[in-house]
Structures are given as structure tokens and as C-alpha cells.
Amino acid sequence: MHHFDYKNNALHGEDVALSDIAEKVGTPFYCYSAATLRRHFRVFADAFKGQDTLVAYSVKSLSNLAVLKLLANEGAGADVVSAGELKRARAVGIPAKKIVFSGVGKTIDEMTLALEEGIHQFNVESEPELLQLSEVATRMNKRAQIAIRVNPDVSAGGHDKISTGRKEDKFGISWERAEEVYAQAKDLPGIDVVGVDIHIGSQITDLAPFEQAFTKVTKLVETLRAQGCPISRLDLGGGLGIPYHHNHGTNTPPPPTPSEYAALIRKITDPLDVQLIFEPGRMIVGNAGILVAKTIFVKDGDVRRFLILDAAMNDLIRPALYDAYHEVIPVKEPAATAEMAQVDLVGPVCETGDTFARQRNMPPVQKGDLVAFLSAGAYGAVQASEYNTRPLVPEVLVDGDQFAVIRERPTVEDILKREIIPDWL
């Protein structure tokens, strides 16, 4: 669920009219609902109440400091994939012992920082990384607690570019070599083998791939324990999908609920007596955020009508990158009798790929009207760029009847100041 609804014929974020925010900060802008963020985290965490769990929010999905602080206040840990994300998590007070460091390309500097901070766990994704981490930890006279990410060769995820658990994907080590690599790891200096890590993809809307992968990994835990590896943690990653289609007329089935997900995991993993680590991101923030844009022009081509918006692919790249669907609705509530017509929703960037939707049924939208892209909280602002020298858009947090800008829009002059023309030019 989310807290973006029509009130008095105008779309609101909680109790704040989005048109009021647009008037004060301009468009386009991202808007996040504090109530939705809190509710989604609590629903997920409560599904595992009574179990030894660490809910390590996936910082890469939405990394704004205000959002991280809100989730830290709810008890969230952090799953990070860079030194920058680690510093973000620590800056808002997330304890190092609640931080997991994932990613296939950790540098020596990143390993050093994480060891200095004393993080909970490294999720190791290759033998070269394992050897490098052992060297760094030994040199620092530290112990690195690790889980090795194993690849169960289970295909999942809504798009090829977000499936991470197949043999041909870059993540983790192959299932066939898992026992060999664990045997190597437990004898390395500076390394404490404590867990097994798995993550099979993103936006998974069926429990079957989870069941297949988690069943495989529990058997691996039993095997590793028999071989002398003291496995006490099981990191099951993230990946639980969210609804992107909010129109009740669609036939898209809803994704599993956190309680259904938790019941499956409990059935499979209870006999192991391990700490369970989860890395939810999209499930927490996806439907907690929207992108609001203004219609610059309505252009009639020979066969299509185009709504040209002031938001572009550099602001929300998911449709261009993943063929992702976002429901788009007018900020001013359309009349119940409004006739729907097909339009292409496009941005002003000089790329054909700067297209959000083709032949989308929309009520009448005029020049100057505001529209909202729903379910834009995850992988929206974090993947934005300044392509075409377009400033990054503001991020706004609403909480009840108040709102705050939590990332300002830079000026073009701010962008230019970061660049240097050599004296010899």
C-alpha cells in the first residue's frame, strides 16, 4: 500500500497536496511518504518477530540520508555495496554491527574501511576477493566475518537485467564449487566463516523460486557444518516484489506478502537454528515514492499523441533500462466520466529511449498539468544523472501534514563549478 491518494480532487502525499509542493520546489521532483516507509518496514520486520533476524535495508534502492535516518529509527540495519553507502549508513547512526557489505568489486580501501568500522559481515563473491580480504584483515590484525555468496542457478526476477542467481550472472560463486571454496576460506588467516549468502534477483512475484533456492541452500548449510564450517548465519538477500500495477482492472496477480514469505522461510530454515539476514530494498521504498512532472507540450503526430514532460530518462531511467512499467496518473483528479485516450509519455532528452510509456490509456492532460509516476521510490533518484546538463531533481519527504526538501535541486551554475578548464586551453 501507499499514502498517495486523491483528496478534494487533488493528489496528496499523506496530508500534503502535491501541487503545493510543486509550487514551492518546482518540477520534476521525487516525493516520499514517511508513513509508507514506516509501515512497510514494520510489516516486513514483524513477519519474523520472535526469530533471530537482521533486517539490513538495501541502501542502493534509495540512499537519501533522511530516508536512511527514518529507517534507522525503526531499527533497520544496512546492506551496502560501496564505501559511500557504508558512510551514509554510519552517518545516520546505523550501528556497524548491523551492516552487511555486499558487491562483486570491493576495493582494498573499502575492505579497510569496513574492517575499521567493525561491520557485521562481508558477503564474499569470488575467490580473488576472499584472498584479498584475508590479506587486508591479516595486515590490520583484524578478523573479517564472512558469508560466501553462492549461486544456486535459479532464474528469477522480472527482467533479464535484474536476475542475479543464474550460472551466467556475475554474482557469487558457482554451486558446484561452494564446498571447495568454503574449505579454503576456513583455513585462511584473518577470516571467520560464519554464514552462507544467497540472492537470486529483484522484483520476484512468485514464492516458487525462493522455495527452490532456499531449500538448496539449507542443504548446503548442513553439508558445510558436517565438514567443520561453523555456519551460524543465513543471508537470504532481498528480491521480494511489489505491485507496480495499481489499476484494479489489470490481471496482474499481487506479489506474495511478507507474512507468506516469512512462513515459507520458517518452514525451510527453522531446523537450522541460524540468524536470518534479509536485505529488502524495493519492498520497503518502491511504493513509498513517486515522481511528479509537468506537461510541457501536448504534441499530435500523424498517428500518435505525445505528452512531453519535464521529467526525462535521466531522472527516472527504469523504463529505458529495464522496460519497467510505472502507472502515471494526473495530479488533478479526472472526472469519473473522463474519456481515456492513448498517448506516448516522453521526456525532453535527445534520445529515442527517453520514453516512459507507449500507447498508455490516460484521461485528458493539458499543457501545464502535473502527472505523478507511481512506485518510483526504488531505483529512481539513486540512478538519476545530469545527462544533457539537466540538474538532479529535488527529493521531498512528507510526514503527515508537513514536508521537507531532503535533497535540493542544484543550479546549472553548481554543475559547471565542478568542472575545470586547464590553464593551457
Domain 4-31+287-417 belongs in CATH node 3.40.50.410: no
Angle, helices 178-185 vs 127-140, to 10°: value is 10
C-alpha cell at 23: 509550487
Cα–Cα distance, 182 to 275 (Å, whole number):
19
Matching CATH topology for 4-31+287-417 and 103-278? Answer: no
Residues pairing with 7 in the sheet: 10
Tell me the pLDDT of the chain (425 aa) as tens digits.
Answer: 689 999 999 999 999 999 999 999 999 999 999 999 999 999 999 999 999 999 999 999 999 999 999 999 999 999 999 999 999 999 999 999 999 999 999 999 999 999 999 999 999 999 999 999 999 999 999 999 999 999 988 865 554 544 444 455 667 899 999 999 999 999 999 999 999 999 988 889 899 999 999 999 999 999 999 999 999 999 999 989 998 887 644 566 788 999 999 999 999 999 999 999 999 999 999 999 999 999 999 999 899 999 999 999 999 999 999 899 999 999 999 999 999 999 999 999 999 899 999 999 999 999 999 999 999 999 999 999 999 999 999 999 999 999 999 999 999 999 999 999 999 99
The model's pTM is: 0.94
The architecture CATH gives domain 103-278:
Alpha-Beta Barrel (3.20)
User: Within 10 Å of residue 105's Cβ, how many Cβ atoms?
Assistant: 11
- Maximal C-alpha separation, the chain: 71
Rounded Cα gap, residues 1 and 418, in angstroms: 40
For the chain, the structural domain boundaries read: 4-31+287-417, 103-278
Looking up cell 514506516 gives 38
- According to DSSP, residue 74 is labeled T
Known catalytic residues are: 350
